[in-house]
Amino acid sequence: MHPTLYSWREQLPATIVRMLAYLGGIVVLSIAAAQVFQSRSAPYVIKPIERGQWNEIARPFPAFALSIPEAVGVSSRYAMRYNRNGVGRKDILTLGELDSPDPYLRVEIYRPGNEIARFAEPMATIVDEALGLGPNHLKREEPLASKFGPLSILSFDSSKGMPRRCLAFVRSYDDPRLQLSGWFCRGGEPVQRSTLSCALDRLTLLAAGSEPKVGALFAKAELKRSYCGERDPIIAATPKYKLLWKALATRPEPRRIGR
C-alpha cells in the first residue's frame, strides 16, 4: 500500500474524534448562551392582554323595559353584561345618542354576584359609570322621590364629546341585592327632576327569572307608580316629554326598549 494512503487511514479516527469534540463544544456553548440571553430577556417578555371583567351578551333576552311613548324614532339599545369572575349581571337600557345635543337617557340595573362585597357610595358609583363623559361641576342634589323610593341625585356637566348637562341617579337595595343607576343628559338647559322621575316611572320588569325577590321589588314599585304625576295627590302639571323628544302622533305603538 502506498505510504500516503496508509497515513490517511491511520489518521482518520483521530480526525473524527476531534470533529466530534469541536461539535460537542459548540453545542454546549450554544446552550449556555441561550440560557444567559433567556434569563436576561425574561423581564421584557410581552404578556397577553387580559380581557375585561365584563362580557357582553351578543343577543340578550330583555328582562326590563323602558316605555317612552313620546320618543318614537329615537335610537334605543338594550345591553346585557355578565361578570366572568363573580357572575354579576348588568342590564343597560339607553335611549338617544351618547354624543349628541339631544336628550340621552341611560338606565342600568345591576345585580351583583360575588365580585363585590357591597355597593360603592352613591357619588363614587355615578362618577365611575360616567367617567367616559368627563363629569365636571359635580353637585349633590336633594333626594328625588320615585316609585323605587328616594334616589340619590347628582348633577354634572360633561366635558368630553358634546357638552351637556346631566342629572344622575342611584338607588341600592340590600334584599334583593340590586342597584338602579344612570343619568339623563341634554344640551343647553338641565333636565328637570320631574322629567327624570317620570322617565323612571316607565321602567318595568319583563321577567325576573329565578329571582322572585326582584319580581316582588318591581311589583311593590308599581303600586307606588304615579304615571308621571297623574296620580299625584298634589295637583301638578304632568311633565311634557314632547319638549325633549318629538312625538309622532301617527305612530300608535309606544316606543319600548327591551321588547
For residue 195, which phi and psi values (nearest 5 degrees)? -70, -40
Q: pLDDT higher for 28 or 73?
A: 73
What is the C-alpha separation between 247 and 14, in angstroms, rounded?
100
| Residue 26 in grid coordinates | 459548540
* pLDDT level of residue 182 (50, 70, 90 thresholds): very high
| Residue 252 in grid coordinates | 300608535
pLDDT > 90? residue 90: yes
pLDDT, one tens digit per residue, over 98-122 is 877 788 999 999 999 999 999 999 8
Q: Give the per-residue pLDDT at 16.
A: 60
What is the reported pTM? 0.71
pLDDT > 70? residue 141: yes
**For the purposes of burial, counting CB atoms within 10 Å of the CB of 92, is it exposed (0-12), middle (13-18) or buried (19 or more)?**
buried
Query: Helix, strand, coil shares of the chain as percentages rounded to 5?
Result: 30, 30, 40
What is the C-alpha separation between 140 and 123, in angstroms, rounded?
8
pLDDT, one tens digit per residue, over 118-139 is 999 988 998 898 888 899 999 9
Which range scores top for mean pLDDT: 22-31, 41-50, 153-162? Answer: 153-162
- Region 224-251: what's the mean pLDDT? 54
Dihedral (CA of 88, 89, 94, 97) sign: positive
- Region 188-198: what's the mean pLDDT? 87
What is the C-alpha separation between 126 and 130, in angstroms, rounded?
6
Give the strand pairing for 104-111 and 135-144: unpaired
Cα→Cα distances 51→55, 56, 81, 87, 110, Å: 9, 12, 14, 15, 20
| Residue 32 in grid coordinates | 449556555
pLDDT > 50? residue 192: yes
Q: Give the per-residue pLDDT at 207.
A: 87
* pLDDT level of residue 254 (50, 70, 90 thresholds): very low
Residue bearing cell 316609585: 147
pLDDT, one tens digit per residue, over 5-31 is 455 455 555 656 566 556 666 655 556
Return the number of other C-beta atoms located less than 10 Å from residue 201's C-beta: 23
- Region 164-173: what's the mean pLDDT? 94
* pLDDT level of residue 148 (50, 70, 90 thresholds): very high
Q: Give the per-residue pLDDT at 238.
A: 47
Q: Among 45-59, 71-85, 175-189, which stretch is predicted with the lowest mean pLDDT?
A: 45-59
- Region 146-171: what's the mean pLDDT? 93
How does the average pLDDT of the chain come out, rounded?
78
